[in-house]
Amino acid sequence: MEPRLDGEDALDTGTTLTVVGCSGSVPGPDSACSCYLVEADGFRLLLDLGTGAVGPMQRYVAGPDVDSVFVTHAHGDHCHDVWELVYLRARAGTAGRLPVYGPPDVAEKYPDRAEAEKYLALDPVPDKIGPWRVRTAVAEHALENWAVRLDDRLCYTGDTAPCAAVDELASGCRVLLAEAAGFDADRPAYHLTAGDAGRLAARAGVQLLVLTHLRAWHDAAALLAEASAECACPVVLATPGLRVAC
């Protein structure tokens, strides 16, 4: 399959990834924190819902129409706006709880646990979410981070240092959505550098690498160059509104 980017015809090829927010750690001037809408067969799954993401999310999906959320870990730049989405859905009179999958400590983030449980269903990850077979891997991060793979289409790292579990999860997937939280020359703890993301893409044999978790104080073009030097596949920077057929 030839990966296609940003084409309207991407919508009818199966699974579509839309970048809602891609800023790492804190929102940037042009992007909310991590949030990725994945759609197929009318099912709408959000991967992460970080700080500020519920705002731009509504450009792509109305709050009551979100079918499920998968949260990689309990850092705010990946889960803060789950609470905002719950509130939005409650105000809209949305019936039923929102299935939110993720490590157990995600539930502890919410200030009013009793209120949250009216709406959130923090369940074990099932074999399938919507139309996709789901696999997860416990990555290496400061908190428990679950990298996730949907069919053979998309693998999302969340936040992780390079590790065998994520290597195995990503192997053979078409599209790799990987964080690029810094540079090889100034390596941040518990994160992938852009170079790490490129090397992971090469080992996994993916067809497209999308770099995300882009921090506002980093030179994005330099991140792209560092990752591109490590793999033969195309590499693109996540940007809000980017659509990728997976």
Q: Which residues bind to Zn ion, rule: CB under 5 A?
A: 75, 159
**Based on CB atoms, which residue is closest to Zn ion, 238 or 246?**
238
Paired with 156 in beta bridges are 148, 177
Helices (H), the chain: 54-57, 76-79, 82-91, 113-119, 164-170, 194-204, 220-228
**SS3 for 167?**
helix
**Based on CB atoms, which residue is closest to Zn ion, 75 or 153?**
75
Give 231-234 contacts, CB < 8 A, sequence gap 24+.
Answer: 231/198, 231/199, 231/201, 231/202, 232/202, 233/201, 233/202, 233/206, 233/207, 233/208, 233/209, 234/3, 234/207, 234/208, 234/209
Rounded to a whole number of angstroms, the minimum distance from the CB of residue 80 to Zn ion is 12
**Based on CB atoms, which residue is closest to Zn ion, 75 or 243?**
75
Rounded to a whole number of angstroms, the minimum distance from the CB of residue 153 to Zn ion is 24
Rounded to a whole number of angstroms, the minimum distance from the CB of residue 141 to Zn ion is 6
**Based on CB atoms, which residue is closest to Zn ion, 9 or 186?**
186
Please give the span between the terminal C-alpha atoms of the chain, in angstroms, as a whole number. 9
Helix axes 194-204, 220-228, angle to 10 degrees: 30
**Based on CB atoms, which residue is closest to Zn ion, 75 or 89?**
75
Rounded to a whole number of angstroms, the minimum distance from the CB of residue 215 to Zn ion is 12
Provide CB contacts within 8 A for 117, sequence distance 6+. Answer: none
Rounded to a whole number of angstroms, the minimum distance from the CB of residue 61 to Zn ion is 24
Give the pair of three-digit tokens for residue 43. 């099912």
What residue type is assigned to position 133 of the chain? R
- Whether the CB-CB separation of 174 and 153 falls below 8 Å is answered with yes
Rounded to a whole number of angstroms, the minimum distance from the CB of residue 51 to Zn ion is 12
**Based on CB atoms, which residue is closest to Zn ion, 39 or 159?**
159
